[in-house]
Amino acid sequence: MIERETKLKKWGNSIGIVIPKEEIEKENLKINQKVRVIINPISPIRVKDIFGKFKKIKKPTKKIMKEIDRELESKFLK
């Protein structure tokens, strides 16, 4: 099974996707072989979509960053 993120490309009056040769060979696919393709659009994350979602955070950013620094130091500087 091939699962990959790719961009749609215009081919004449159609739209197509590119499957890399290495993946075609790995799956032993042949020209004119029937395959099933599942299209799952990827939506970009926009700031306006998540703005205001984290209202429960009461700590100032500097304090949060210091806590993260201390945690990382304790894990990696032993």
Residue 3 lies in a domain: no
Residue 34 lies in a domain: yes
Residue 1 lies in a domain: no
pLDDT exceeds cutoff 70 at 78: no
Residue 4 lies in a domain: no
Closest alpha carbon to 36 in 27, 44, 45: 27
Residue 2 lies in a domain: no
Residue 2 confidence (pLDDT) = 86
Residue 59 belongs to what domain range? 9-41+52-76
Residue 71 lies in a domain: yes
Q: If you search the block for the tokens 């205001």, which residue do you land on?
A: 52
> Could you give the number of structural domains in the chain?
1
Quick: pLDDT tens for 33-50.
999 999 888 887 777 777
pLDDT exceeds cutoff 90 at 12: yes
CA distance 69 to 63: 10
Residue 46 lies in a domain: no
Residue 11 confidence (pLDDT) = 92
Between 76 and 65, the more confident residue is 65
CA distance 73 to 67: 10
